[in-house]
Structure 1
Amino acid sequence: MKTLKLIKNDPWLAPYKRAIEGRHNRAVEKIAELTNGSGNLSEFADGYLYFGLHKEKRHWVFREWAPNANAIYLIGTFSDWKELPQYKLLAIGGGVWEIKLPLKTLHHLDLYKLSVHWNGGEGERIPAWATRVVQDPETYIFSAQIWDPEKPFTFTKTRFKPKTSPLLIYECHIGMAQQEEKVGTYNEFREKILPRIAVDGYNAIQIMAIQEHPYYGSFGYHVSSFFAPSSRFGTPDDLKALIDEAHQRGIAVIMDIVHSHAVKNEVEGLGRFDGSYDQYFYGDNRREHPAWDSLCFDYGKNAVIHFLLSNCKYWLDEFHFDGFRFDGVTSMLYYNHGLGQAFCSYDDYYNGGQDDNAIVYLTLANELIHQVNPHAITIAEEMSGMPGLASKFKDGGIGFDYRMAMGIPDFWIKTIKEKKDEDWKPTAIFWELTNRRADEKTINYAESHDQALVGDKTIIFRLIDDVMYWHMSKNDTNFVVDRGMALHKMIRLVTLSTINGGYLNFMGNEFGHPEWIDFPRQGNGWSYKYARRQWDLVDRDDLKYQYLGAFDQAMIHLVSQKKKFEQTPIVKLCENDGDQVLAFMRDDLLFVFNFHPCKSFNGYGILAPAGEYSTLMSSDDPEFGGYGLVDKSVPHFTRRDPLFENEHKEWLLLYLPARTAQILRRKKPEEIGISEPSEKVEKAPGKKTDSKPAAGKKAATKPATRAPRAKKESGK
């Protein structure tokens, strides 16, 4: 066997070659086993077309897998919820039960369940493959429901290819996307929120809590019915209409899928579906997740793999989702679920504590998803940093397209909480944002929904806190608000500008949504006050939230218009911890950050590729709530330095106000009618000087442009 590319690309993995190849081979063998050697996982994952309730030409047919059952009845509104002989299922082998009924027996919107009997007990169950589940508003009891409208929804856009260069994700939750204190709907999201996302420039939405879950406050992570879109937000057709509209707007729709665990409920979920403890889950001490109060799937069972793979294909085929963000991948990868483990060396990934069955399942899931839709997007929520997670299967990886850069939000929280402003180090910031495997794409993000949950704080709330309640009017000058808004913009821009794959933002955080997320629960009097988004804050012309929203929109649009931005090398030009200045280039774009809380630098020298630079945007622009200290109309010309001529670099002298970021663009030689940048520099206007600034230091003289409207090194 040839050495896998994953190992070739990283010599430090050579000592673990046997383990990596072993996992790869087990996945190859499992694919061959499940597909009888064909490799067609898509055909294998057609379980949703066989199991569950289906309307055929001459009859209804219902099938369920329940190997421990000894009798099953279909009960519902059609049987007055009684066990009747004509609704008794027949065992047809392999633990599968079946019933065929005349078409006139069942109707659209009928409610139904299963009454399952086993040795020593019985119980009502919602079918495992149910595609619609509803809750009675008075009794709160969940039931499956027949969804068979006369005119089912048809997609107007049947072919859609997501734009992923770069991938700009707007993470969202349907229920809490509304202004009102209530549960929002698919239709309301389509009508009110999608237009906002399109205008803001995001090219993908990542929707949480789609799979049906009994407890709203679980944020959708305690799933009960894996094939049913949550009915609390509307009908299956409403969800399809939302996805269709998103595609028409050029927006990909990624589903937050939960295959890492399941709710413990037995009546609503799969807990003891056929009376046994180990039908879908482990039957031993691994059955319950020690931290999540949920049940852990047994990925070693082919029937469980079939169920979960079919679930992936179902959402792709039936609803036209463009991919998945897999939740809780770290929990799946390790027997200890990654709890209390630091992951300090490669030994931690190959010490025998890994669940190879789960690794094989995730590998198969990625292979299947890309078989069904070659353009599909798969993202792993994973914090341990397991090598190869976002590498191709053929190269020895697990096959995800992206991995979440989960260390970045933790870094920002720790920095804001524990460090004084003057102790923010550009070296630490740059290292954290670019410390990743070269062969794996990541999703950078400053904060997601995790950082907004009750008990935690969003970045803006950590920076401004309760001052937000009193001083966010545009005519109100407040130092705490000024500082918070300035850092909020800089944190987002530096996180976005260093991506090698994609960027994610949670809805509302782009404009500094105040407070936290807290779903209705007994502890808050079942209030929806914090389970919503206050869009009126960013819509009001008199509030500063508008500035933050405008900045986010500007930076997203700028990056999205740059072809293959995420693939361009990041060339560090300046990293000065003393001055707290960071500068780097990506192709012709120059990003400059001055994190210093009080020092503004006039004529700050940065060694950059020779040429003419124009300022595209500054976080200090008035339209972003700044003071307009940077004059964007002034061109900047580099100055020669014989010491760096062989490096084709010259001194670019810039004015850097305190706590600001700038994006400049280097003009191409042909744009200014010359063949060499150095020729242009010779013609550049400005005073000549023999003194040369050291790298990352202030120039000895004023820059070649007119002085900005601010005192030199003034923080006032």
Structure 2
Amino acid sequence: MTTIDPATLDAVAHGSYHDPHSVLGIHPAGKNTWVIRTRRPLAATVTAVFDGGKRARLEHVAAGIWEGTVTGPLGSYRIDASYDDGPDYRADDPYRHSPTIGELDLHLIREGRHERLWDVLGSHVRTHEDSHGTSFAVWAPNARAVRVVGDFNGWDGAAHAMRSMGDSGVWELFIPAAGEGTVYKYEIQGPDGQWRLKADPLARRAEVPPATGSVVTVSSYRWDDSGWIARRSQSRPVTEPMSIYEVHLGSWRPGLSYRDAADPLIEHIKALGFTHVEFLPLAEHPFGGSWGYQVTGYFAPTSRFGSPDDLKYLIDRLHQADIGVIMDWVPGHFPKDEFALAKFDGRALYEHPDPRRGEHKDWGTLIFDYGRNEVRNFLVANALYWYDEFHVDGLRVDAVASMLYLDYSRNAGEWEPNIHGGRENLEAIRFLQEVNATCYKTFPGISMMAEESTSFPGVTAPTDHAGLGFGFKWNMGWMNDSLEYIKRDPLYRSYHQGELSFSFVYAFSENYVLPISHDEVVHGKGSLFSRMPGDHAAKLANMRAFLAYMWAHPGKQLLFMGQEFGQMAEWSESRGLDWWTLDQPTHRQLQDFVGAVNGTYRANPALWSRDNDGSAFSRIGAPSWNPNVLAFTRRDWDGNIVAAVCNFSGSTLSNYALDLPHGGVWREILNTDAHEYGGAGVGNLGMVVAGEDGRASMVLPATSVIWLRYDPQARVPSTIRD
């Protein structure tokens, strides 16, 4: 007669017992004697069959639980069950297996220090104690019980209840029947007794939306980018050229998979000369209209475009083409979808329990509890996961300002001050410092980028100097001011030059990226082209001049897809780019111009090697002062100098006098008004000559920018010298 009390047997039978392994499986029952219990409801007979042929007949105890004893030395066993109205069935028993997660792993999870969390939580196909199957592990500390449900058990989790691993809050189960491709979820009984179906937070693959199941996956991809990674590890991105092409993969060319996109995307980026591509978030998300910014599967690349290995293929191919890959990352908030992280185990778990800190009312999303060890660990490990498993070269961290301030988008009385009475979110700040320091320590040469729109100090300062530790910060002030300026009619720009030049005051306070991103071409703002003043030709001229000014300005550059050829319509994620625009020669010339700008930029270290060094930048004096002309120089460490002279007046300025740093020959290496780019062809015949005092007279084409490179070896032409 069994020694297990009826209430426990009933809970085990219904899959609601927190420690089913203490009842089911094989247990010592005396000297050389063992008791075996298994759950086989509706069976007529049940027998344990050991390796070597030994058999032990089990008797029904209650509610589908069977029990029997056996003596002698034992090996592994399987369970035979016969049914009156069905075939006999032999299967391995999940409950004969020991845990697949160790004490050290559990300790690190409790401490919030498991940097390879994805290796121990989630689902993993493995061979465990002579059985091949899948291990499942999930963190759900408030749960009464957790079950694995999926297509392997008809979505009935009573037979696959997980065991609690104590105060770690982790639940674990090895299931021999599950393998690669298995679709599953966790069925979690919360403190209120209600069962909830949840996708696996550590799943590495998900079903294609709108389906929301997690998928057991195995990677077989072999990388071929070791050369790229080796070079990256020796690099320092702030001192290297970086121009970024921002892509929403679903609408760049609709219908392409990760693999399909590789060839055309590489061809396009190479032709344009960009050094990096940045993808809007590719982690799994249920609503395409969020552009990926409402993430439900932080460890699962979206299945819309293929498998995780397919994404690895795309990134690998980009690396082989010498193109870096930056991924948008969203640790600032997550959606309220019931199948995902929200109230994961019946209570606030990943989100802060206080709605004053745990909810973004404007966005309808939830905010992570950055002060909780396990939540912070989840996010830090996720950042490391994208670097380790997918070889990305940078993470652009979304909405950092919303993380830094407790009163972000809140009225008085809707937020709670920190322990010092201030508005800073101290827990979020510590998280950002930890994730940045950990990523840079683990993966040298990568870039952590902050989308941060306030004057918070030290965003790119090292963490050991009380900074946040980012490598770059998006320069939102430059973006707003320069776009305000460039949309004005040239007739009125003379009163607003400060919008163009104020950024020079703070250009070296952080390591900046100058973004013209997706956010600037949606929600009624129109495309960059449509915001330019004047007729069609004037808009194109303004586009060329603005981009040349942007590329010469201190900082790295980012341009959203479609702007490279002057897309006229506002971007929408629901349709593809207007590639037909390239059938118009002037727009084809604009795209060629972007390629020329990138090529000239990369060939001149003065434009990028000292982006964070104010001593390498100077405004140029202009005796022929015009409020619509802006001129400055950039220097590299070898003494090479490039001058950018920007004429936004809309009129050609002849015999414009400018005091350059050196007398002699200055090569005109870029002219936005050149014929090949669709301009009028006004210029300086390839060079400008300055007198001994540096003063030069030049022609500035209407609405144009020229770049001049000092050539100390060149001789002044005799026609000019005489």
Task: Report the TM-score, using the length of structure 1 for normalisation.
Answer: 0.77
1:328 is aligned to 2:380: no
Q: Which moved more, 1:419-428 or 1:50-59?
A: 419-428
Mapping 1:497-508, distance limit 5 Å: 497-500=552-555, 502-508=556-562
How far apart are residue 582 of structure 1 and its match?
1.7
2 CA distance for matches of 1:535 and 1:419?
Answer: 28
Q: Which moved more, 1:413-422 or 1:252-261?
A: 413-422
Within the candidate set 671, 676, 696, 1:652 is matched to: 696
2 CA distance for matches of 1:244 and 1:554?
Answer: 26
1:639 is aligned to 2:696: no
1:168 is aligned to 2:243: yes
Query: What residue number does 1:13 align with?
Result: none
1:614 is aligned to 2:667: yes
2 CA distance for matches of 1:64 and 1:37?
Answer: 15
2 CA distance for matches of 1:433 and 1:547?
Answer: 29
Query: What residue number does 1:60 align with?
Result: 134
Q: Which moved more, 1:555-564 or 1:165-174?
A: 555-564
The alignment partner of 1:609 has SS state of coil
Mapping 1:693-712, distance limit 5 Å: none
Q: Which amino acid aligns with 1:661?
A: V
1 CA distance for matches of 2:410 and 2:625?
Answer: 34
The alignment partner of 2:316 has SS state of helix
Contact 1:113 1:127 (C-alpha < 8 Å) held by counterparts = yes
Within the candidate set 154, 160, 165, 2:222 is matched to: 154
Contact 1:498 1:570 (C-alpha < 8 Å) held by counterparts = no
Query: What residue number does 1:392 align with?
Result: 462
Contact 1:426 1:581 (C-alpha < 8 Å) held by counterparts = no
Within the candidate set 259, 276, 289, 1:217 is matched to: 289
Q: Which amino acid aligns with 2:708?
A: L
Q: Which moved more, 1:322-331 or 1:508-517?
A: 508-517
Contact 2:484 2:499 (C-alpha < 8 Å) held by counterparts = no
Q: Which amino acid aligns with 1:545?
A: H
Mapping 1:26-65, distance limit 5 Å: 44-58=114-128, 59-65=133-139
1 CA distance for matches of 2:632 and 2:529?
Answer: 26
1:582 is aligned to 2:630: yes
Cα shift readout 1:544-565 (whole Å, capped 9, x = no counterpart): 1111111111111111112363
Cα shift readout 1:226-285 (whole Å, capped 9, x = no counterpart): 111011121101100011001101111111000000011121x20011010244433433
Distance change >3 Å, CA 652–CA 36, structure 1 → 2: farther
1:513 is aligned to 2:572: no
2 CA distance for matches of 1:229 and 1:308?
Answer: 15
Query: What residue number does 1:703 align with?
Result: none
1 CA distance for matches of 2:689 and 2:496?
Answer: 25
2 CA distance for matches of 1:318 and 1:599?
Answer: 54
Query: What residue number does 2:80 align with?
Result: none
Q: Which amino acid aligns with 1:167?
A: M
1:88 is aligned to 2:161: yes
Query: What residue number does 1:555 align with?
Result: 597
Cα shift readout 1:30-61 (whole Å, capped 9, x = no counterpart): xxxx99999xx997311111111112232421
Within the candidate set 454, 457, 461, 2:526 is matched to: 457
2 CA distance for matches of 1:117 and 1:81?
Answer: 15
The alignment partner of 2:222 has SS state of coil
The alignment partner of 2:286 has SS state of coil
Gaps of at least 5 residues in structure 2 are 1-103, 413-417, 611-615, 636-640
Distance change >3 Å, CA 630–CA 340, structure 1 → 2: farther
2 CA distance for matches of 1:628 and 1:158?
Answer: 45
Query: What residue number does 2:620 align with?
Result: 573
Mapping 1:362-511, distance limit 5 Å: 362-417=432-487, 421-424=491-494, 427-436=497-506, 438-445=508-515, 447-463=516-532, 480-500=535-555, 502-511=556-565
Query: What residue number does 2:6 align with?
Result: none
Mapping 1:287-366, distance limit 5 Å: 287-337=358-408, 352-366=422-436
Contact 1:574 1:582 (C-alpha < 8 Å) held by counterparts = no
Distance change >3 Å, CA 37–CA 215, structure 1 → 2: closer
Within the candidate set 172, 184, 189, 1:98 is matched to: 172
Higher strand share: 2
Within the candidate set 109, 112, 118, 2:181 is matched to: 109
Distance change >3 Å, CA 64–CA 278, structure 1 → 2: closer
The alignment partner of 1:78 has SS state of coil
Task: Report the TM-score, using the length of structure 2 for normalisation.
Answer: 0.77
How far apart are residue 417 of structure 1 and its match?
4.8
The alignment partner of 2:360 has SS state of coil
Query: What residue number does 1:344 align with?
Result: none
Gaps of at least 5 residues in structure 1 are 1-33, 342-347, 465-478, 520-527, 641-648, 673-679, 689-716
Mapping 1:593-632, distance limit 5 Å: 593-632=646-685
1:686 is aligned to 2:720: yes
Distance change >3 Å, CA 599–CA 630, structure 1 → 2: closer
The alignment partner of 2:175 has SS state of strand
Within the candidate set 197, 200, 203, 1:124 is matched to: 197
How far apart are residue 481 of structure 1 and its match?
1.2
The alignment partner of 1:205 has SS state of strand
Cα shift readout 1:388-433 (whole Å, capped 9, x = no counterpart): 1111112221100000001122113322456654424584145233
Distance change >3 Å, CA 427–CA 76, structure 1 → 2: same
2 CA distance for matches of 1:145 and 1:665?
Answer: 56
Q: Which amino acid aligns with 2:618?
A: V
Contact 2:295 2:330 (C-alpha < 8 Å) held by counterparts = yes
**Which protein shows a greater Rg?**
2
1 CA distance for matches of 2:486 and 2:627?
Answer: 19
Cα shift readout 1:85-135 (whole Å, capped 9, x = no counterpart): 2x1101111211000122xx1222221111111232111110111111113
The alignment partner of 1:408 has SS state of helix
Distance change >3 Å, CA 88–CA 449, structure 1 → 2: same
Q: Which amino acid aligns with 2:528?
A: I
Q: Which moved more, 1:315-324 or 1:419-428?
A: 419-428
Q: Quick one: higher RCO (CA 8 Å, sep 6+), 1 or 2?
A: 1
Contact 2:488 2:532 (C-alpha < 8 Å) held by counterparts = no
Within the candidate set 338, 342, 345, 1:266 is matched to: 338
1 CA distance for matches of 2:136 and 2:677?
Answer: 58
1 CA distance for matches of 2:123 and 2:171?
Answer: 12
The alignment partner of 2:335 has SS state of coil
Distance change >3 Å, CA 514–CA 430, structure 1 → 2: closer
Within the candidate set 576, 583, 587, 1:532 is matched to: 576
Distance change >3 Å, CA 56–CA 209, structure 1 → 2: same
